[in-house]
Every structure is written in structure tokens, then in C-alpha cells.
Amino acid sequence: MKNRQDRLIFVTNDDGFDAPGLRVLLNVARRFGDVICVAPETTQSGMSQSITMYRPLFLREIAKEESNGLGSLERYAFSGTPVDCVKIAFDYFLKDRKVDLALSGINHGSNSAANILYSGTMGGAIESSFYNCPSIGFSLNDHSLNADFSHVEPFVERIIEAALGGVEIPFCLNVNIPTGEPRGIKICRQNKGYWREDFFCRKDPRGKEYFWLTGDFVNSEPDATDTDEWALANGYVSVVPVQTDMTAYEKIDTLKQMGLEG
């Protein structure tokens, strides 16, 4: 394993460059190497793996901190999505450097189950996994800005250590942390389910009707005990290994038998 002095770690998030959860992750990351953080200027929750195609983006240096018993830290804000942050980092100003690990989070709010599909945090983690380093997205099951992160560090450290211990690439984890002291770590699969929305419908100051998205997760398998949703609900840190092939392989033959090919 490399020494801390030789490691370069990339960090992003979706709550924005000054989110408390990001600060916690940066503190832990610096114990493992020098850290470059490129995070969004503004909140990007729910931005999934989206990219900014139709407008220019601006990069702003926030701060540089020298190594001080920890790895050095460079922080930047970028005016795009988490995936834009990953791309400007890996394809532009880290282009000729070897990155040893990419981290995203710690998100304020869980990204278990179908939430992975909408999550900007996981968008950033998944995108990072395309750049030949292990990547991990971390989320805490508490949406509030002043969420209590005091219990998370030992678990974040332990999972980072595992990822740095030599893993097969591509390697991407979706990690969700409960509120309160966890009972341990569970390796899980993604829970099946979906969201049903309940739109707020009000009138704006000029009398025009508007809609505001809100909703509830519907768990399609509430009795399953090997899922991230179950682990999180039962006080465990859930760890789901993530892949990006969305092919429904079991349906390929069915479609061929339907005579659709040819």
C-alpha cells in the first residue's frame, strides 16, 4: 500500500462546496493523502448523472491548505453538476496525475434503493469510477444541514482503507450511514422500489399556478433483509457495490422470441 504522502484523493459532493458533510469527508480524506476537492457552487441534489452541455462553466479557487500532519488540501467550486466537477478535475487539471481514490459526499440525506438513480452524490461517484480509480459515494440518512456527523468517521475510514487496499477496477460503492451509532457494516444489494410524488400545487404572487415536487419512496420488497434499505432502517451502514450496465439480460431472449429482431 502507498504511503499517505504519495496518494492523491479527489473529492466532490452534490450539496455544494461549503456543505458540512463535505467538510467531514475532507477531514477524513486528508488522513489518507493529498486532497483535491472540486465541488458544485450551488446545491445539486437530485441532479443524477447530468452534465451541462449548453452553457459555459466557471471554476473558482476557494482555499489551499498545506500539509500539516495531514495531506494537503486544495478546494475549488465549479458552477456545474457533480459530474461536471468530476470531468473538469480528471480531464482538465488532474489530467496528467494519478488519482488513487475518488470520494463523493457526505450527502445530507440517504441514497439507498432507487435514490441512486436521482442522486447527484452517486452521479459524481459513478462518473469518477470511469477514471481508473476506486470511487465511493457516502450519504447520511439525515437531510438537515446541521445533521450530526459525529459517529460517521470510523466507518468512513474503514471503507476508505478497504478501497485503498487493492481492489479490482472499476470499483464503485454506494455507502449509506444511519443516524446514531451504527451496529456495523452490511454488504447489500440495491433495494427494489420507486417514488410516488405528491405535487404541492399553489398560486404564485401573480396568481399563476405552480407545482412543487414532493413524494414518498415505495418499497417493493419490504421483507427482504439483504438490501440497503433494510440495513439502513435497521441501524447498519449499507455498502452496495455499483455497476453501470443497465441491460436487462434476462429479457434479451424474450425480445428475440417475440420476433422483434431482424
Cβ proximity to a copy of itself: between 71 and 135 the closer is 135
Torsion angle of C-alpha atoms 121, 124, 129, 134, degrees rounded to 10: -50
CA distances from 249 to 188, 211, 220, 246, 253 (A): 21, 38, 21, 9, 8
Cβ proximity to a copy of itself: between 69 and 259 the closer is 259
Provide the minimum distance between the beta carbon of 102 and a copy of itself in the complex, in angstroms, as a whole number. 14
CA distances from 256 to 88, 136, 247, 251, 261 (A): 41, 37, 15, 9, 6
Cβ proximity to a copy of itself: between 20 and 72 the closer is 20
Residue 10 and residue 93 in contact, taking contact as beta carbons nearer than 8 Å? no
Residue 186's DSSP bridge partners are 238
Provide the minimum distance between the beta carbon of 242 and a copy of itself in the complex, in angstroms, as a whole number. 5
Provide the minimum distance between the beta carbon of 20 and a copy of itself in the complex, in angstroms, as a whole number. 18
Provide the minimum distance between the beta carbon of 84 and a copy of itself in the complex, in angstroms, as a whole number. 7
Instruction: Give the three-class secondary structure for 260.
Output: coil
| Phi, psi (degrees; rounded to nearest 5) at 163 | -65, -30
Rounded-to-integer distance, Cα 28 and Cα 75, Å: 15
Cβ proximity to a copy of itself: between 97 and 251 the closer is 251
Provide the minimum distance between the beta carbon of 67 and a copy of itself in the complex, in angstroms, as a whole number. 28
Cβ proximity to a copy of itself: between 141 and 190 the closer is 190
Cβ proximity to a copy of itself: between 1 and 201 the closer is 201
Provide the minimum distance between the beta carbon of 53 and a copy of itself in the complex, in angstroms, as a whole number. 5
Rounded-to-integer distance, Cα 186 and Cα 119, Å: 21
Rounded-to-integer distance, Cα 3 and Cα 5, Å: 5
Cell of 18: 461549503
